[in-house]
Structures are given as structure tokens and as C-alpha cells.
Amino acid sequence: MIQKSQKIKILAIETSCDETAAALIEGKTVNNKQLTINILSSVVASQIKLHQKYGGVYPEMASRAHAEKIIPVINKVINNKAVSIGMRDIDAIAVTVGPGLIGSLLVGVNAAKTLAYALQKPLIPINHLEGHIYANFVGNLKTKNEKVKTTTKNLKVPEFPLVALTVAGGHTALVLMKEHLDYQILGETLDDAAGEAFDKVARLLDLGYPGGPAIEQISARWKSKIQNSKFKTNPNIQIPNSKLIKLPRPMIHSDDFNFSFSGLKTAVLKIVKEEKFDQAALAFEFQEAVTDVLATKTLKATQKYKAKSVLLGGGVAANQRLRQKLTSQIQKYTDAQIFIPPLSLCTDNAAMIAAAAVFHFALKKERENWYNVKAEGNLRF
Ligand code: KG4
Ligand code: ZN
């Protein structure tokens, strides 16, 4: 039960992959029932530049960089001039304990344990995936990525049952939630995660790391080229066959909620090896294939479980094409509300970890002793 007029301040740490992040947030009850979450301070130190030359995350380098950055990042969050609270005013420390790279996770978990011990505060272990879901409960809640001023009148929050699609570099999952902190995995990827597929295909196309934003950019260029070209003004003119690339939509009609993206990567590799191809056209079709599958399966789950809300989360949720496609399908075929976090809360950050922790703190009686909290690379729900 959420208590009346409860205020909770959480300091969260996230180091599961290649971003060293910390955030300070405040959870408040509104209308005596709904917890709203506001970010007081959030810092993300990205390691993208470090890993770019390897075309992907280099785990050993990632943990070293986390070790260097973790204290300065926490310091910056705490010393934000706009935030007039001290470490002693914090109710709990939260930390991502998995899934992720074990060497990276250990840096964050040990920093969080040290703080919890020194400050004598509870330590809340958070699953990275629930963080991506709870990004949709952060601050000035919004639909369609528009910020709506949080007032007690127009407050929009996800309602249960809800379906959450989390799509990132390390995981892809469709999750059903009937209430807070209750996760039922409907489907997962059987091989590559959606973000991993973006990264691998970008590497095949020499587009650099991270692949998602690179593929999105070049695809947008291809789309505007087609739209502005003579093909649009005179539909009788055929687009040359060499420019029409068709990729499969793996498992789009399977009667489960699982995904598979490795075949798509192989199909792209085949084209890259055997044929002359237009790089932008291929990137565009790849993005269409991935987003078609993700949007179709999420719609199906929404209908099957009569979800009242649909939540998108994870790095791939930053993709505009996915945001558009999912929003239009959900709005067209269901009465569910769609929630999509702002871009800064899609890719890894600590505010989303703190958001999940607020609900753990408010709804769970037992407090974890820092001593029992452990990093777990393969953590599941
Ligand atoms: O959530 P995240 O920051 O880290 C993990 O939890 O893995 O997600 C990173 C993934 C990368 O694979 C990256 O290529 C992908 O998210 N990504 C995108 C976009 N921005 C990041 N994928 C497609 N379109 C984007 N705009
Ligand atoms: Zn993530």
C-alpha cells in the first residue's frame, strides 16, 4: 500500500553496460494514491567514444572506465546546486544488479554497497529491465513523448494490466504486468536482441557504433530521397529493382510472443556479400523489418491481454520509426494508452533505476541488508 503523502528520495547507480550513471529522484504521492517521480539530478557518462574503435563494447575497458568515473558521477549528482539535499536526507540507495556485463555491474554494486554501509541506508537491488519499464513512470508524465505538466488534474500514469516492450542492446522482451513489480514474461528473443541486431547490421554496412542511431539516420535519408524523387510525383515510374530490397519479418506470425533477429542479420550479410546494393535502402528495409515485427507482436499482446497501457522502453525505443509505428498501431486497433519515455530515458540512465526503486521502497516492507546484495550478469525477472 502506498502511504498518504509519502515522500521518498532515492540515489540510484547504473553501470550494467557502457554508461556510468547516477541519479537522485523524489517520489511523491499525488491524490493520496499515485506516486509521481521527479528527477532532481541525473548524470550519464557515456563510454561510446572509448568503444567506437572496437565496433562494440569491450568489457574489460568498460569496467575500468566505470571504476574511474563512478565517484565523479555520484559527486556531480549530489553536488547539483539546484538540489538542496544532503546524503543523509536520502531514504535509500538503489543499484542495478543485472543483467549486464559482470565486471561493469560489480563497480556499481560495490560503490552502492559502500554508500549504504557508510550512510546506514537500505540498499535496493534493481533489475535493469524493470528500470527500462519504470522509465515510463518518471516525472512530468507524458503520452507520445510530449511533456505534460504534472498537476493533480492531468496526471497520466500507466494503468494495469499493462504490456511493456523492452528493446535494448542486451535484451528484448514483452512483459505483462498486472500490478506494480509483478512481471510475467510473454516472450523474449531466441537469439540476438533487437539493439544487438541494429549494432551488427550497422557493422556489416560500415556505419559504426552504436548501430541504432546510425541506421536510423541513414534510413531517414533514404526515405526522404524516395519521397522527394520523381518516384513520388509520378507513381508510374518504377523504382529500379536494385533499389527494392525485401527482407524477412522473422516470426511475425508465430503464435507466441518470442522474437528472432539473427536470421535478419544473415539475410543482410547475404546481400552485402553477393549483390550490388544501396546502403541506405538496405538500412531502411532492415529498420522496417525489425519495427514491423516489434509493433505487430506488441499489438497482439495488447489485444490478447486487454492491456490498458502499453509501455515502450530500452535503447531501441529511441528509434523514431518504432515510436511512430507502435503508437499508430496501438491507437488504431486498441483503446490502450501508449507511453514512450523521452529519448534521455530510453538509453541507459540511473533515473529509471531510481524510479523502479521508489516502488520497491514504497510497496515492499522488508529492507535488504547491503551485505546480501550481489551483482548477477544473467539475472532474470
Ligand atoms: O538500453 P541501452 O542503452 O543498453 C542496453 O540495455 O543494452 O540500449 C542500447 C542499444 C544499442 O544496441 C543501440 O544500438 C540501440 O540501443 N539504440 C537504437 C537507437 N538508439 C540506441 N536502436 C535503434 N534506433 C535508435 N535510435
Ligand atoms: Zn539498457
* Average pLDDT for the chain: 90
pLDDT at 237: 56
Cell of 333: 486497433
Distance 195 CA to ligand 1 centre (A): 5
> What is the number of other CB atoms lying within 10 angstroms of the CB of residue 65?
22
Report helix, strand or coil for 70: helix
Q: Which atom of ligand 1 is nearest to the CA of 198?
A: 14
Give the residues across from 311 on adjacent strands: 164, 339
Distance 364 CA to ligand 1 centre (A): 31
Q: Among 16, 134, 172, 316, which residue has the most ligand 1 atoms within 8 Å of its CB, making it the best to mutate?
A: 316
Distance 128 CA to ligand 2 centre (A): 6
Which residue minimizes the CA distance to atom 23 of ligand 1?
212
| Proportion of the chain above pLDDT 70, given as a percent | 90
Residue range 62-85, pLDDT digits in tens: 999 999 999 999 999 998 877 777
**Quick one: pLDDT band at residue 233, thresholds 50, 70, 90?**
low
Q: Which atom of ligand 1 is nearest to the CA of 196?
A: 12
Distance 240 CA to ligand 2 centre (A): 39
Residue range 272-291, pLDDT digits in tens: 998 788 899 999 999 999 99
Give the E-state strand segments of 284-347 in sequence order: 309-313, 337-339
Question: What's the one-letter identity of residue 267?
Answer: A
> What is the number of other CB atoms lying within 10 angstroms of the CB of residue 84?
8
Which residue minimizes the CA distance to atom 14 of ligand 1?
212
Distance 322 CA to ligand 2 centre (A): 17
Query: Among 93-97, 206-210, 286-290, whose mean pLDDT is lowest?
Result: 206-210
Which residues have any ligand 1 atom within 6 Å of their CB? Answer: 17, 168-170, 195-196, 198-199, 210-213, 216, 314-316, 318-319, 347-348
* Residue among 6, 68, 70, 66 nearest 33 (CA): 6
- Length of the chain equals 381
Tell me what the mean pLDDT of segment 349-365 comes to.
Answer: 95
Q: How far apart are CA 214 and CA 267, in angstroms?
A: 19
Alpha helices in the chain (DSSP H): 48-52, 59-78, 102-119, 128-134, 194-204, 211-228, 230-233, 262-274, 279-304, 320-333, 351-363
* Contact between 288 and 250 (Cβ < 8 Å): no
